[in-house]
Amino acid sequence: MNFKVGDFVYRKNEASRVENQGKLGPNWEGPYRIVEAYDNGSYKLQTMDDKEVPRTWHAINLRNCFL
């Protein structure tokens, strides 16, 4: 899936899932705004408070958010 700068997305939550919630914890976090798109399919994200997320995220780990 291709996203554009300015799109809102949810980010897959596998890496930061809270341990005591296990499978019942939320699968997606967000929404986030895409601030930069790279040719390799990864994206730089920003929170709704205009704080940059520290790393890039590949499109496989993102899904559309309709606000």
Structural domains present in the chain: 8-17+26-64 (2.30.30)
| DSSP structure class, residue 5 | T
Instruction: Output b/e per residue, 3-37; b: 16+ Cβ within 10 A.
Output: beeebbbbbbeeeeeeeeeeeeeeeeebbbbbeeb
Q: Kindly tell me if the per-residue pLDDT of 58 is higher than 90.
A: yes
pLDDT (tens digit per residue) in 11-56: 998 755 566 666 777 889 999 999 999 999 999 999 999 999 999 9
User: What count of other Cβ atoms lies within 10 Å of the Cβ of residue 57?
Assistant: 19
Q: Kindly tell me if the per-residue pLDDT of 61 is higher than 70.
A: yes
pLDDT of residue 23: 72
